[in-house]
Amino acid sequence: MPDKIRVAVIGAGALANRVHYPSLRAMPDVEIVALCDLVESKCQSTGDAFGISRRYTDYRRMLDAEKADAVYVLMPPYHLFDITMDVIERGLHVFIEKPPAVTTFQAESLALKAASKGVRTMVGFNRRFIPLMRQVRAMVESQGPINHCVSVFYKAMPEALYYRGAIDYLHCDAIHAVDALRWMGGAVDEVASVMGHFGWTRENACHAVVKFASGGTGVLMTNWATGGRVHTFEMHAQGISAFIDPDREARIYTPESPQGRVITTQESAGTDEWHVYYGFFGENRHFIDCLKEGKEPETNFTEAARSMRLVDDLYAAAA
């Protein structure tokens, strides 16, 4: 892989403009060679904003015309599969946003195809790359293995209708909390769960307890029928407990610090730029570094499919 990674981007939506284009543009070892969006006005405005001269409204034309090392597919989940397959079949490395697909079967199919073509893949589970989360996990694990962890995600949108009903809330959005639970605790052996539907006809809440292969336990709490957005985590090991709100701060308790040591998310990241302290820059940097070093990214398609599979298991356990 060359020292400078040539990237083509499919998608010029609001999140892409807020987090992915700025992250890639800030990296001296990345060249954004072209971008594509079906909506020409979005394509033109993003190209102007980030100085990208090669612009397309047909992604296949872009993939055939441009010499890219990797492709970002920043599209809704119901558009991902065919586009991502087209990228993989051309032997190009690929980054996609979460969720990796509409179904677990699709996610696993993408992982199998990528393996057969020898391409590197990554899904944007940015919570794993929040500097505060990574710093705190390292602090906890320095005292011993995590024996208990908690992943909480609440929102005030009881009619959890994503993309007009193309995908459920747990696979689509709350999967952030599911994936973070796996990241903290490791492989899952057993699952017990309760689903709820509050103020709506479909499931919009899931509360679960899992047993990890390590022997530790994890708790998942998601509920879209609440008063507002709350997204917090806990990590515990013998002699240390950490309570993390990655939007604000972490408080770490030890026998030496019974009042709790506080680390702010901006302090951990060294900046108050949201796309950096909330993990988006870090996930992009990780993907580029893995391409340069010939390593498999941490949240590759196979790993992402495991988080999708755990969501399936949560539904099945509650049936």
Give per-10-residue mean pLDDT for the chain (319 aa).
90 97 98 97 97 97 97 96 98 97 98 98 98 98 98 96 95 98 98 97 97 98 98 98 98 96 98 98 98 97 98 95
Q: Are residues 213 and 312 in the same domain?
A: yes
Q: Are residues 66 and 197 in the same domain?
A: no
Residue 60, SS3? helix
Q: Are residues 314 and 169 in the same domain?
A: yes
Quote the pLDDT of residue 3. Answer: 84
- In whole angstroms, give the CA distance from residue 76 to residue 172: 10
User: What is the length of the chain?
Assistant: 319
Residue 229, SS3? strand
- In whole angstroms, give the CA distance from residue 242 to residue 209: 19
Domain membership flag for residue 60: yes
Domain membership flag for residue 86: yes
Encoded tokens for 142 = 């320095």
190: CATH: 3.30.360.10
The one-letter amino acid code at 313 reads D
Residue that is last in its domain, among 125, 147, 173: 125
**CB-based contact 83:76 (threshold 8 Å):** no
Q: Are residues 200 and 313 in the same domain?
A: yes
Domain membership flag for residue 291: no
**Total domain count, the chain:** 2
Residue that is last in its domain, among 125, 155, 182: 125
Domain membership flag for residue 157: yes
Q: Are residues 115 and 70 in the same domain?
A: yes
Quote the pLDDT of residue 1. Answer: 66
Q: Residue for token digits 């499931």?
A: 203
- In whole angstroms, give the CA distance from residue 146 to residue 240: 9
Q: Are residues 175 and 228 in the same domain?
A: yes
Compute CA 32 distance to the chain's CA centroid, rounded to the nearest angstrom: 21
Q: Are residues 143 and 267 in the same domain?
A: yes
For the question of whether the overall pTM of this predicted structure is more than 0.95, the answer is: yes
Residue that is last in its domain, among 95, 125, 155: 125
Q: Are residues 70 and 212 in the same domain?
A: no
Q: Are residues 87 and 72 in the same domain?
A: yes
Please name the residues in contact with 210: beta carbons below 8 A apart, sequence gap of 6 or more. 181, 185, 188, 189, 190, 191, 192, 217, 218, 219, 220, 310
Q: Are residues 154 and 204 in the same domain?
A: yes
Domain residues for the domain of 110 are 5-125
61: CATH: 3.40.50.720
